[in-house]
Amino acid sequence: MAPHVVATFCGHDRDRCLRAREQYLAALRRAGFEVTAIDPGAAAPAGFDALCLTGGGDIDPARYGEPDAGSEDIDPRRDATELGILAAALARDVPILGICRGFQLINVAFGGGLVQHVDGHSPSAGPLHEHRALALTGSRLAAASGSGAHAVNSSHHQAVTAELLAPALCATVWIDGLVEAFESPEHRWLVAVQWHPERTSEVSPEATHIFRAFADAASLRPATAR
């Protein structure tokens, strides 16, 4: 039986949001998941095997105790929905994958903060930004994507620094002095990346392997996670 993943989305019908949604759904289905898409305000089904927190607008800075200083496209309802589902997933210790906004949301949920704007990491104007990611040896990300550096995209204007990384999380990739991937050593499988591995034309093939590793972890289904 295919593992069942809950994937969260912004719920907008804008063209770029619909395209992004389809890219995430395709990547998760290729990895072998049965997917339930959750929009802001919706409840997660009981008994899901994994959680994917996807990209989108910025998290309300009040969630990490800061005034608004350049955050964009804030949706408090999405924040509340995703934080609730994340808490349920952590309580059951199911595998969790965070991507872009999802990476940032996990850091905030664990008590970390965000830089509300950084220059040079978003392709809103000019060519696509490409970075080389080298995962920390022995990390879950390295096990999934390999020990060598691979090309990843960059499409974010907020970021996590060493000072703002939640203490319980372990940085596994650094790019330009920013934390671009982390994981939790205290959970069965929790990995988060700042880039977009679902955009297969923009990253190395190795970067897309995170979805298969995520599905493999979810397929184990220990009794405590059912």
Do 158 and 108 touch, CB atoms closer than 8 A? no
pLDDT at residue 122 in the model: 63
Q: Write down the catalytic residue from 198, 202, 206, 209.
A: 198
What mean pLDDT comes out for the span 50-68? 97
Q: What is the pTM of this model?
A: 0.94
pLDDT at residue 155 in the model: 82
Q: Write down the catalytic residue from 12, 156, 196, 209.
A: 196
pLDDT at residue 1 in the model: 87
Residue 198 annotated to the active site: yes
Sorted by sequence, the CB contacts under 8 Å of residue 116 that are 6+ apart come out as 58, 61, 66, 68, 69, 70, 71, 158
Residue 196 annotated to the active site: yes
- Residue appearing with tokens 């040079």: 120
Query: Is residue 226 over pLDDT 90?
Result: no
Q: Write down the catalytic residue from 82, 100, 150, 206.
A: 100
Distance CA 180, CA 216 (A): 23
